[in-house]
Structure 1
Amino acid sequence: MKLKLKTIALFFLVGITFPLLAQNKGKLFIIGGGDRPVYMMEKYIELAGGKDSRFIVIPMASSEPLESADYMVKELKELGCKNVDFIYCNKENADIKENLAKLDKVTGVYFCGGDQALLTAALLGTKVLDKIKDVYRNGGVVGGTSAGAAVMSKIMLTGNEWINKDTINLFTFIKRKNVETIEGFGFIQNAIIDQHFITRKRLNRLISVVLENPALPGIGIDEATAIIFNPDNTFEVFGENTVLIFDATEARDIMTDKNNNLSAADLKMHLLKSGDVFDLKSKKKIN
């Protein structure tokens, strides 16, 4: 069964979102999880305006959010940041004045790791999230690691499967309607983010989602590695390992067989190292 209608609809969606993306003046600093080298966090701080800038940590993805917040606040302060705070909330109390005030004059926001669905449940539809997006639009930096990376795209992988209920052997096939996705924060509208990518062998799940959403390239970021996403829809790889991109925008014959296995011709792959720059408009490496 060919997935033509979804392809057409998604190309239209991407087309109308590019003007919105062009309005952003800020950067995204998206880390694939794992250890964070000191130089990586120093780069995040630099992009956010330096050690005298105001930073906010958002820990709700964690199963122990207060401990996660304390750890991240301490890490930033040990790197010399003087103005660091955190917002811990649920959807019901997110928009209290105290939380909104904490985002005043902030130029660096950081989403901690954990379960991305917990984070979206707490913040989607809130004024706090709107204000974080204002930070980004106005030239600030929004960063995140692991679950905090997954939330960056509009289509968000939850890490769950619909068909395969085996919690030990995850994502062992590439089938239609197996990978669960929900709404993410949408800082990136024209790609899908995955994390811990090479280390945890997550190729099957990202290929599945890309073939079901062929207008949107999939960006798999490995551990100890970040992408720095720029206002012009380019991003630079920064860190210790690599980033893998699957691009089905020009793929042919996207089909499923009688067993629901996905197939396609001309699915492109790019493997990028630190320092490489990729253009999401042209779908090409540009340096």
Structure 2
Amino acid sequence: MKNKNFFFLLFMLSTVLLHAQNGRLLIVGGGSEKNGANSWSTPAYKWAGEGRRVAMIGTSTGSLAPYFKQQCGAAFAREFAVNSRAAADEQSLYDTLMTYQTIFFRGGDQYDYYNYYKGTKLLDAVRQIYQNGGTIGGTSAGMHILSEIVFNARLGSAYPDECIEDPFNKYITLADDFLDFVPGHLFDTHFCERGRFGRLTGFLANYSFTKGMDIVGLGMDDLTCMTIDEHGLGTVFGTGCANLYIPGSPFSQHDTKLLVDSVRVVQLLHGCTYHFKTGEIGLGTLTAELYPEDMITKGNYTVFASGTKLLQKNLALLNDLQNHTGTVTDPVLILTGDLALANLYKDELVMLGSNDLVVRQIDGSSADDPELSQLILRSPKIILLSNTTEALRAFIPTANGLLLKDKLQSDGTIAAFLGDDARFAGKTVVDNFYEEYASYYAELNFEQGFGLLDQTVIMPNTFFNSDMYENSATAVPYAMARDTLKYGIWLTDENYFRFSNDGSGYKLHGYGKAPVMVLRNEGGKAGFSSRTSTGSTSSAPRMVAGFEKLTFSLVDHSVPYELGSNMVGTEEGITSDEIRLFPNPADTHFFVKGAGQGFEFVMMGMDGRQLSSGEGSKDEPIRLDHLESGMYLVMIREKNGGSFQAMKLVKL
């Protein structure tokens, strides 16, 4: 008899489940809706409201009702201001809401929604409408409350720098007792606009630590949204990305800072899809195939890079540079655009034991300065501090700039790039990133750095101020897509890294209160945003890139990060298609490497006068006895119409 009752109950339950309907969702990352059939918002909002009665709920009324009616074809639309638990629990409100097919939560304060609406008839109506096949939507705070796990902001907003420095900081207040429309997910909004990639990772870690289970994070950019149909298939609309963060390894802490080896990141642009039940991803508009090369280094050198130029926040780096790398008697050269600040650094290094230290300003007059040439050649430790992009852009192609680049990549060199100069340690340099809305208006600039960390873009001062969060957040993956880079690194004013060879490959060690944030492109499809907020094609889209396979890591010195194991030495490892002069600087002679079996050469002075010419082979030295010490230009052309290359050579 008991078995018969059990099977009868099982039959009844399965019948109910088969006839139950799933509703639909519209999740919006924030930003103002725009009129027009091709705007970022209208197609998705029309999907949610066309032909339906739409109720907009918030703690105050807004102006969305006309938009839903006039732009999105709603049969009827009304704003509801519900600003207390008593109001949310009114039977009359429940009865009224049950006459609507779409409920949309406005932006505002998600803790008000959580506090006022939890356990009330308002939420009962929302659940019932969803179960009846209706559509539930929300923007900004209204989107936050639609995931199963909610950041309810009980104590106010949580900032990204705080969340990576301590995933248990008091502002991370998560709850999982509000709505269960999207199991196993946590939503965040205004994602790139407010630089929240570190914050979302902190949320995922906090939940993993406290609940013992991993969940999926979805960070929605502003002016971006997803429709989620009754089967769980989400489709992206708008100008930015829906950013999926999926833990791939355990979270840990060192002191209080958050560490993780692997969080899978997928950045989905307009037209891409994500199935919330199966995890299946449709790449849609990600049509480019990007498979970056592994990092290659051309010397056994060490690089320090910090996220700020503030002296007091670089004291540990200076001590590491002076007393724990190279020797304490190594000559130190500071190359700067700010002599006053550089002299403060000089004083600090003297206090740390340096007794051979020179400060030189980089400007137009130093381009061919022979004294600077000698300083570069004799200094195993070189600091770049407070140099403007314009100054370095002008300096790098000059004789001393090329000499510096060669020196930085030489065996034994120890270089420190402080603050904004850290960008130049990478291959690609991002500029104009302090300008408000630069990424949104497609006004970021990109150029070449020294390339000490090849296949890398470095962003210092990531959380300098809220006006540039979108710039620093989007510039890194955008540069990775633009230049097919493998790595992106974010630094803050609370950390620095050391990049060095431990014998098995190059490792990145992070130091400070905050972990170093590393993004790696695993190879796959990518693309760029092609949509503007209004749908107009007369303005450029924002600088947002989509990616199929990224890995996000938070690292420090306790878990060093392998950043390039394919090393190239200064002689034996030179690739066959790369022409180099060896040694350089040279005393009595030099060899030409990588030019095949034979070549022609012309040697010129920096004033353009031809000094000598001839032919040679890879094992034949070219004599320099007839030349004085200084800088020369050597032009090499492979025989039989091969490669041509012009290079600087320093004669000792």
Shorter-chain TM-score: what band?
A: 0.7 to 0.9
- Specify the SS of the correspondent of 1:271: strand
Q: 1:247 to 1:235 in 2, by over 3 A?
A: same
Which deviates more, 238-247 or 211-220?
Answer: 211-220
8 Å CA contact retained: 2:28, 2:222:
yes
Deviation at 1:155, TM superposition (A): 1.7
CA distance in 2, matches of 1:284, 1:137: 24
CA distance in 1, matches of 2:218, 2:132: 25
Output aligned runs, 1:18-97, within 5 Å: 24-38=21-35, 39-48=39-48, 50=50, 52-60=51-59, 65-66=60-61, 68=62, 71-79=63-71, 80-89=73-82, 90-97=84-91
Q: How far does the alpha carbon of each residue in 1:181-217 deviate from its partner, in whole angstroms, 9 at most, with x for none?
A: 2344332222100000011101111001112335211
Please report the RMSD computed on the Cα atoms of aligned residues, expressed in angstroms: 2.6
Structure 2 residue ranges without an equivalent (≥5): 1-16, 284-652
8 Å CA contact retained: 1:94, 1:122:
yes
Partner in structure 2 of residue 170 of structure 1: 159
CA distance in 2, matches of 1:33, 1:191: 18
CA distance in 2, matches of 1:207, 1:200: 14
8 Å CA contact retained: 1:171, 1:202:
yes
CA distance in 2, matches of 1:192, 1:171: 16
The answer on 1:107 being equivalent to 2:107 is no
Counterpart residue type for residue 65 of structure 2: V
Q: 1:82 to 1:282 in 2, by over 3 A?
A: closer
Q: How far does the alpha carbon of each residue in 1:87-141 deviate from its partner, in whole angstroms, 9 at most, with x for none?
A: 3332113232321222233111110001111111121101221111111122111
Deviation at 1:238, TM superposition (A): 1.2
Q: 1:47 to 1:23 in 2, by over 3 A?
A: farther
Counterpart residue type for residue 223 of structure 2: A
Partner in structure 2 of residue 154 of structure 1: 148
8 Å CA contact retained: 1:87, 1:99:
no
CA distance in 2, matches of 1:215, 1:24: 28
Counterpart residue type for residue 28 of structure 1: L
The answer on 1:276 being equivalent to 2:268 is no
Identity of aligned residues (%): 24
Output aligned runs, 1:163-202, within 5 Å: 170-173=159-162, 174=164, 175-178=166-169, 179-183=172-176, 184-202=178-196
Partner in structure 2 of residue 138 of structure 1: 132
CA distance in 2, matches of 1:157, 1:25: 24
CA distance in 1, matches of 2:137, 2:25: 6
The answer on 1:209 being equivalent to 2:203 is yes
Name which of 259, 266, 283 aligns with 2:262.
266
CA distance in 2, matches of 1:260, 1:33: 31
CA distance in 2, matches of 1:72, 1:280: 28
Counterpart residue type for residue 269 of structure 2: K
8 Å CA contact retained: 2:241, 2:269:
yes
Partner in structure 1 of residue 580 of structure 2: none
- Specify the SS of the correspondent of 1:120: helix
Counterpart residue type for residue 270 of structure 1: V
Q: 1:282 to 1:261 in 2, by over 3 A?
A: farther
Q: 1:86 to 1:268 in 2, by over 3 A?
A: same
CA distance in 2, matches of 1:194, 1:246: 11
CA distance in 2, matches of 1:30, 1:196: 12
RCO comparison, higher one (Cα < 8 Å, 6+): 1
- Specify the SS of the correspondent of 2:274: strand
Q: 1:78 to 1:40 in 2, by over 3 A?
A: same
For the pair shown, which has the larger CA radius of gyration, 1 or 2?
2
Number of matched pairs: 252
Counterpart residue type for residue 260 of structure 2: A
8 Å CA contact retained: 2:215, 2:246:
yes
- Specify the SS of the correspondent of 2:161: coil
Counterpart residue type for residue 94 of structure 1: A
Q: 1:209 to 1:45 in 2, by over 3 A?
A: closer
- Specify the SS of the correspondent of 1:33: coil
Deviation at 1:224, TM superposition (A): 0.7
Output aligned runs, 1:120-135, within 5 Å: 120-135=114-129
Counterpart residue type for residue 139 of structure 1: G
Counterpart residue type for residue 220 of structure 1: G
- Specify the SS of the correspondent of 1:81: coil
CA distance in 1, matches of 2:123, 2:33: 25
Partner in structure 1 of residue 113 of structure 2: 119
Q: 1:41 to 1:242 in 2, by over 3 A?
A: closer
- Specify the SS of the correspondent of 2:199: helix
Deviation at 1:219, TM superposition (A): 0.2
Q: How far does the alpha carbon of each residue in 1:140-182 deviate from its partner, in whole angstroms, 9 at most, with x for none?
A: 11111110111111221234779xxxx8x93314123122223
CA distance in 2, matches of 1:172, 1:45: 33
Deviation at 1:283, TM superposition (A): 3.2
Partner in structure 2 of residue 9 of structure 1: none
Q: 1:153 to 1:49 in 2, by over 3 A?
A: closer
Q: How far does the alpha carbon of each residue in 1:54-110 deviate from its partner, in whole angstroms, 9 at most, with x for none?
A: 1111012xxxx13x2xx1223223324342223333211323232122223311111
Partner in structure 2 of residue 218 of structure 1: 217
Q: 1:215 to 1:24 in 2, by over 3 A?
A: farther
Partner in structure 2 of residue 230 of structure 1: 229
Counterpart residue type for residue 81 of structure 1: A
Structure 1 residue ranges without an equivalent (≥5): 1-19
CA distance in 1, matches of 2:58, 2:66: 13
- Specify the SS of the correspondent of 1:92: helix
